[in-house]
Amino acid sequence: MKSPLKIVLVGMPGSGKSTFGRQIAKQLNFTFIDLDQVIEKETGKKIREIFTLEGEGKFREYETFFLEKTLASEDGLVLSTGGGTPCFNDNMEVINQKGVSVYLDVSLEEINKRLLRDQTGKRPMFAGLDEGEITLKLKNLILQREFYYLKSKIILSGEDISTDHLLSALMGFFK
Ligand code: S3P
């Protein structure tokens, strides 16, 4: 029988949710799901296209809809959310009701470095911005979003972002 556990990773773009999510899913033999990929598959559109053709508001509607659907249907799950997912439409409450939320708390400096490195146009939130603007936008986003991220049941910061640390935090959580 599959474990009913649903681990939901939250954090800024560039915090490594997908990479870390794949590692932890492999270790636990859970299914890994990336919410952005679900949205792209189900709508038949790229995230970038949704932002440019339908606007961010519509993207947030899709995001909430597919978050709820995924959390309702999958067990033994590691779900990587988008950076903004917990911050709209009571999504953080839904996440905490259905699963164990884990915030990957990566420093602003590190995220900034990563985003500047892989600005390939796949992140519409930062499309068309120069380096200074990306840094400023990041600072503003973190200020708005930490309020939601910090509602997570488990917070892994910096060096502690490892599968070992998450596994021991999960054990403590269910003791
Ligand atoms: C967003 C982050 C993206 C994606 C969308 C919006 C955000 O996901 O959901 O472009 O609002 O920060 P990642 O966090 O995986 O980059």
The 10s digit of each residue's pLDDT in 145-169 is: 999 999 999 999 988 999 999 999 9
Neighbours of 27 (CB within 10 A): 13
Ligand 1 site-directed mutation target among 43, 123, 145, 148, most atoms within 8 Å of CB: 123
Residue 35, CA distances (Å) to 39, 131, 159, 171 in order: 6, 27, 25, 25
Report residue 92 as tokens.
């953080």
To which residue do tokens 């859970």 refer?
30
**In the chain, what are the domain boundaries?**
6-167
Query: Ligand 1: does its nearest atom lie under 6 Å from the Cβ of 13?
Result: yes
Interatomic CA distance for residues 146 and 150, integer angstroms: 6
Ligand 1 in contact with 124 (CB < 6 A)? Answer: yes
Does the annotation flag 41 for ligand binding? Answer: no
State pLDDT tens for residues 87-101. 999 999 999 999 999
Torsion of CA 94, 95, 96, 100, to 10 degrees: 160
**6-167: in CATH 3.40.720.10:** no
Q: Is 14 one of the annotated binding-site residues?
A: yes
Digit-coded pLDDT (tens) for 58-84: 999 999 999 999 999 878 999 999 999
**For residue 114, how far is its CA from the centre of ligand 1 (angstroms)?**
14
Beta pairing partners, 154: 102
φ/ψ bin of 3: left (φ > 0), alpha (ψ from -120 to 50), beta (otherwise)? beta
Going by alpha carbons, the residue nearest to atom 8 of ligand 1 is 82
Asked whether residue 123 is marked as a ligand-binding residue, the answer is yes
ipTM above 0.90, yes or no: yes
What average pLDDT score do residues 111-117 get? 89
**Is the shortest distance between the CB of 99 and ligand 1 below 6 Å?**
no
* Mutational test site, ligand 1, from 47, 64, 144, 148, max ligand atoms within 8 Å of CB: 47
- The DSSP letter of residue 125 is G
